[in-house]
Structure 1
Amino acid sequence: MKVPLPRFGRRAGAALLAGIAMLAVDRAAFAQDASKPAATAAAAPVKDERALALLKGMSDTLASARTLSFKVRGIVPTPAPNGQYVSLFASSRVVMQRPDKLFVEARGDLFPSDSFYDGKSVTVIGADRRFYSQREANGGAIETLMQAVQPGSDATAPFFDLLVADPYAFLTKDFTSAFWVGQSTVGGVKTEHLAFTAPGLDWEIWIGAADKLPRLMVVSYRSSERQPTFTVEFSEWKLNATVPAKTFSAAIPPGATKLEFKQMGPPK
C-alpha cells in the first residue's frame, strides 16, 4: 500500500504470482491477528490538507505518464517456520505502459523471476530459466489484472498501488489520519515526508519535492503482536520514455518446466 501501502492489507489479488513482486510479502501472516486488539494505541486522527495535496500531486504525476519505469529495493520481514520474522532483501525493476503492459524483473532473496503482462496473458519465468508459469488474463488495464490473476490472494508488491489509473483515490479510500512531517533528503533528493494511518497500519512516504515522485516508504503493521515493519526505496524513475514492444513479450525458455499459478495464503 487506502494509502500507499495500507492497500496491501485489504486488496485481494493485487499480485501476479508469488514471484512477480519485489516485495512478495504474505500479508496474511501479518494480518491474521487483525481481529485482536492492537498492541499499541492507534494514532489520533489528523487530516492535514497539505499532506493530502502532496499525495495528490504525486498521484497526478504518476497517472499522467504513458510509460513508467523505476527500480525498487527493500528489506522484507518474512515469517520463518518457527514464527520468528527474518529479514530478506528484495529488489525489482518495473516497466509499465498504460493501459495494459507490465514487466517486472524481481531479484534478491525472494523468488527471482521475470514477469510479463502483454494485455492478454501473464507469464512468469524463473531467473534460472528452468521454470515458468503462464495463464490468460482476459485483457484489461493493470487494475483488472490485479483483481483477476490472484483472486483471494494476500500477496502483493507496493508498487502496484502506484500503477493504477488514479493512485490518490485508490490509496486514500480508508485512511484515518494524514499529516506533513517535514522535509528530508533521500538518496540526494529533497523530499516531502508524509505520515498516514489506516486500520491496523502506520505508514510513511517521502515524495520528491521537485519531481513529485515517491522515493521511500515505511510501513508498520499494528494488528500483530510483533508489529513487523518493512522499508521500500524507489529510484531511477523515468516517465514517458520510449519502451520497446519486446519488453512486455515473454519468450519461454526451451526445456523449461511449466508450473501452475497458485493462490497464496497464510502459512499452514
Structure 2
Amino acid sequence: MTAIVSCGRAAALALAVGMSLSSAAVADEADARNRLKAMFAYMNAQTNIGFQYDANLEVVTKDQQRLSLASSGVVTLARPDKIRATRSGGFVDVETVFDGKTLTVLGKNKNLYVQVETPGTLEHLIDELKDKYHRPLPAADLLLPNGYDELMRDVTDVKDLGSGVIGGTECDFFAFRSKEVDWQIWIAQGDRPYPCRFVITSKLITGNPQYSIQPRDWKFGTAAAAGDFSFKPPAGARKIDMKELSEMKDMGELPSHFAIEGGR
C-alpha cells in the first residue's frame, strides 16, 4: 500500500510538472531563443577568451550500465585563428595547439605529437577536428560564430525552465529537443551572458548517454592574455603521423580497456 501511494504521488507530481512546463515553455520560447542569440552575440564579440572546464562523457555498456568518464582542462583562444586547449583525465593528457597554420596534438602522457598543416580560421579548424580527425575541441559548439544556427538546426521543442545556479552564478536555464539529441544550456544572467553548463543527450543510442561540459573562470579581453600559441616539443618527444595517432590507445575519448561494440 505504501508503495502504491508513493507511486501515485510521484505520478501526480510528474503530471503537475508536465502541465506547468507545457504552458510556460510555449509562452517563453521566443525569449529562450533570444537569450541564446544574445549569448552567441556576446561570445562572438570577444577577441581573446580563456576558461577552464570540467567534462563528463557517458558510455553505455552492453549490459546497459552507464559509466561516466571525467576530464578537465583549459582553453585559451585568440580570434580569428589561434587556440590552445588541454584535456586531462584518468587515462589521457592531451594538448592541442593551433597557430593559424599548423595544428599540433601532443600526448603528454606518451610524449608523442603529431603536426598537420591546416591554415585557416578557428571555424575551419573546429570543423576539421570534428569531421576529419574525430577529435572535437571542448565546448566547440559554443565558440563558433554560426553556433546558434548549428545548434538550432532541426530543433522541434524549446523550453524556458526558469533559473538555476552553477558554480555560484545565477543562470537562465533552457532545454531544446531535436530528432537525434536533446540538449540543455545554462546561461549567466546579466550583461555577460556566457555559458555555464551545456548538456547533450543522445536519443539514438541505447541508454541515452550524455556529454556535459561545465566551463568556469571565464576571462575576456585584456583579462584573457593572448597567450603563446607556438609549439616547442618537450625533451625526448617523438613525432608521429596522424594515421599512427588515430590507431593509438589512450589518446582519444576512451581508455584502452574500453572496446567499442558495433561501432557505437
Question: Deviations for 1:163-222, whole angstroms, at most 9, x for unmatched residues?
Answer: 212322232222222121101111111110001012221111110012201001222111
Please give the secondary structure, in 2, of the residue aligned with 1:124.
strand
Aligned to 1:174: 154
List gaps (5 residues or longer) in structure 2. Answer: 1-21, 247-251, 254-259
Please give the secondary structure, in 2, of the residue aligned with 1:191.
strand
Aligned to 2:225: 243
Aligned to 2:180: 200
Choose between structure 1 and 2: higher helix proportion. 2
Aligned to 2:205: 224
Q: Distance in 1 between matches of 2:81 and 2:62?
A: 37
How far off is 1:239 after superposition? Answer: 1.0
Q: Is the 8 A contact 2:129 2:136 kept in 1?
A: no
Whether 2:117 is the aligned partner of 1:136: answer yes
For 1:187, the aligned partner's letter is: G
How far off is 1:111 after superposition? Answer: 2.5
Q: Pairwise mapping of residues 248-259 of structure 1 onto structure 2 (< 5 A)?
A: 248-259=229-240
Q: Distance in 2 between matches of 1:252 and 1:108?
A: 21
Q: Is the 8 A contact 1:183 1:193 kept in 2?
A: yes
TM-score w.r.t. length of structure 1:
0.74
How far off is 1:260 after superposition? Answer: 2.1
Number of corresponding residues: 224
Question: Deviations for 1:203-253, whole angstroms, at most 9, x for unmatched residues?
Answer: 11110012201001222111122111233211000111352452x111112
Q: Distance in 1 between matches of 2:48 and 2:107?
A: 25
Q: 1:191 pairs with 167, 171, 187, which one?
A: 171
Q: Pairwise mapping of residues 135-154 of structure 1 onto structure 2 (< 5 A)?
A: 135-137=116-118, 139-149=119-129, 151-154=131-134
Q: Cα–Cα, structure 1 residues 201 and 260, in superposed 2: closer, same or farther, change >3 Å? A: same
Q: Distance in 1 between matches of 2:48 and 2:233?
A: 25
Aligned to 1:101: 82
TM-score w.r.t. length of structure 2:
0.75
How far off is 1:110 after superposition? Answer: 4.9
Whether 2:70 is the aligned partner of 1:89: answer yes
For 1:124, the aligned partner's letter is: V
Question: Deviations for 1:77-107, whole angstroms, at most 9, x for unmatched residues?
Answer: 1356888542211111001100000000211
Q: Is the 8 A contact 1:203 1:218 kept in 2?
A: yes
Percent identical across equivalent pairs? 26
Q: Is the 8 A contact 1:88 1:110 kept in 2?
A: no
How far off is 1:255 after superposition? Answer: 2.0
Q: Is the 8 A contact 1:102 1:118 kept in 2?
A: yes
For 1:199, the aligned partner's letter is: K
Q: Distance in 2 between matches of 1:196 and 1:169?
A: 13
How far off is 1:157 after superposition? Answer: 4.1
For 2:128, the aligned partner's letter is: A
Instruction: Give the alignment's Cα RMSD to 1 decimal.
Output: 2.7
Q: 2:108 pairs with 106, 124, 127, which one?
A: 127
Larger radius of gyration: 2
Whether 2:75 is the aligned partner of 1:75: answer no
